[in-house]
Structure 1
Amino acid sequence: MSKRITAGVVRPSPVSIFVNGKAVEAYEGESVLTALIAAGVLATSRDSFGRLRTPFCNMGVCFDCLVEVEEGGRVSSRVRACLTPVRAGLRVVVPEGR
């Protein structure tokens, strides 16, 4: 179930991005972090002890939302999900588990 606000909001047609291989509905122009949170994905990275980290500032300062992104068959270095716009077909890798 989406956690998006829907009342009084007009959005373009949804696109699919893939988070750890699973299709997630998103909207071009929103941040990857927004799409992840709306899909219920809250862990974006791990700290130096291996513990899961969640987004903190949502404005590109803290680096807690670093994710791997693949586009067009090319893996980029880790990017800040809060500053990376959604594009159709984007593949995002986030840590799973505890």
Structure 2
Amino acid sequence: MITAGRIVRLAELDRAQVQFFLDGQRRSALAGDTVLTAMLASEEALRTSEFGSERRAGFCLMGACQDCWVWQEEGARLRACTTFVAEGMRLRTTPPENWP
């Protein structure tokens, strides 16, 4: 289990693992995790602010502040704090116009 992220999982370790991709790299989460939890368990931040170079990690954790937007590889964006991670989900931390 990756513990290099912003958060460290202390409980509920017996849930099934889910594999997802973040910026092209395979990551693991646990079934029932939000995208926010899944990302912050393996990363220090969700994304870089669109208004500067600051790193963002979510703020309100309930979908109101809009600080946790991330993108699916199909181009649609989603709120990481209110979306559950799914097997095979492919996520990006930057908007489509910044993709190679």
Describe the superposition over 1:31-72 as per-residue Cα deviations: whole angstroms up to 9, x where unpaired: 0000011112413242334543331111101111000024xx
Aligned residue for 2:26? 23
Alpha-carbon distance in structure 1 between the residues aligned to 2:14 and 2:41 = 14
Give the number of equivalent residue pairs.
89
Counterpart among 38, 42, 46 of residue 39 in structure 1: 42
- Identify unmatched segments of 5+ residues in structure 2: 95-100
In the alignment, which residue of structure 2 is the partner of 1:65? 68
Aligned equivalent of 1:54 = 57
Aligned residues with identical type, % of pairs: 33
Could you say which residue in structure 2 is the equivalent of 1:5? 10
1:85 matched residue in structure 2: 84
User: Residue 39 of structure 2 contacts residue 46 of structure 2 at CA under 8 Å; is this kept in 1?
Assistant: no
Residue identity opposite 1:28 in structure 2:
A
Tell me how large the CA RMSD over aligned residues is. 1.9
Measure, in 1, the Cα distance between the counterparts of 2:51 and 2:26.
29
TM-score of the superposition, structure 1-length normalised?
0.76
What amino acid is aligned across from residue 24 of structure 2 in structure 1?
G
